[in-house]
Structure 1
């Protein structure tokens, strides 16, 4: 077990049993099991968008600092 996972589990142990169970259900749903497929299956549109984004990153095409600041300002960040 990693140190981070151990820290998270220790923190959750302090919660009431029903809250611990809620965390456990989330963790189990994310982890799935060996016979299950991934928790979330991308749609064809999402798959294409991801492929496009990865190709842009491989070419070094990233937003400029100015573009990032503009998005942050637009959303009040």
Structure 2
């Protein structure tokens, strides 16, 4: 897991723990101080491909952590 992937992953875990639901793409972009939603989306795609997270397409706030990062 890259430093950026870890940063995004940790933001998802922290936000979900505090609020009981996952952050929106825009909120996640702000949480990690990224310049664009597309940047974060690319990181999320890699995290999903590697089996760390998943989400339902076209449904907001459905991100779920599948396994812990080591």
More strand by share: 2
Q: Identify the structure with bigger relative contact order (alpha carbons < 8 Å, sequence gap 6+).
A: 2
More helix by share: 1
Greater Rg by CA: 1
The TM-score, its normalising length taken from structure 1, stands at 0.28
The TM-score, its normalising length taken from structure 2, stands at 0.30
